[in-house]
């Protein structure tokens, strides 16, 4: 995403990079790129933010005047405090074709299941795991010669293409939600 912003493919400003792991690669990369970066402790739960942490995230996002929240590698369920502050303004990317293969091992689960296609999903975030309205999906074929590692590379290549394209659609106002359906015009 930062590359797409730097080259003008995504006409936005990255106003803040937040991380829930103090030593995460995303915070390190942001600092190397001279982007504002901040660690906010996630609280006492492993799979979601606790209420205090969620308030801290909202505070940090407000301070930075954030209009759109773009999650990448954020492995926690977002609660209503954050969702209410940014209604239909939080995006996530998942490395499988939702609603199949939800959760942290989407690539591995699709590979081990033996499906012939998988892919990438960009969706709005709601308060359930990998559940919000789907904005865009891209397909990746799983070939007989693929390994888990080669499939991961294919998925990541598609993520790097599809996520910036989808962010553009949202920023340009070309995405509207109608219940669970998303219309792109």
**Secondary structure letter of residue 163 according to DSSP:** H
For residues 22-58, one letter each, b for 16 or more C-beta atoms within 10 angstroms of the residue's C-beta and e for the rest, the string is eebebbeebeeeebebeebebbeeeebbeeebbebbb
Do residues 182 and 169 touch, judged by C-beta distance below 8 A? Answer: no
- Looking at 94, 131, 156, 160, which residue is catalytic? 94
The residue with tokens 């400003």 is 13
- Residue 16 makes CB contacts below 8 A (sequence gap 6+) with 35, 36, 37, 38, 60, 61, 64, 66
C-alpha 98/C-alpha 95 separation (Å) is 9
Is 160 considered catalytic here? no
C-alpha 180/C-alpha 185 separation (Å) is 16
Reported residue count of the chain is 185
Q: Hey, which residues are catalytic here? A: 94
């Amino acid at each position: 995403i930062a590359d797409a912003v730097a080259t003008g493919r995504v006409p936005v400003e990255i106003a803040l990079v937040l991380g829930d792991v103090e030593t995460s690669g995303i915070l390190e990369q942001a600092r190397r790129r001279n982007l504002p970066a901040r660690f906010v402790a996630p609280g006492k739960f492993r799979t979601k933010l606790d209420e205090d942490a969620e308030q801290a995230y909202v505070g940090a996002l407000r301070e930075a005047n954030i209009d759109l929240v773009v999650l990448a590698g954020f492995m926690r369920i977002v609660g209503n405090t954050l969702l209410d502050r940014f209604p239909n303004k939080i995006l996530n990317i998942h490395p499988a074709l939702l609603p199949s293969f939800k959760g942290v091992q989407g690539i591995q689960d699709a590979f081990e299941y033996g499906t012939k296609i998988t892919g990438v999903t960009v969706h709005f975030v709601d308060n359930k795991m990998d559940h919000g309205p789907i904005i865009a999906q891209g397909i990746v074929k799983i070939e007989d010669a693929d390994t888990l590692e080669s499939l991961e590379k294919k998925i990541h290549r598609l993520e790097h293409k599809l996520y910036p394209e989808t962010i553009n659609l949202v920023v340009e106002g070309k995405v509207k939600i109608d219940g669970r359906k998303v219309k792109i015009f």
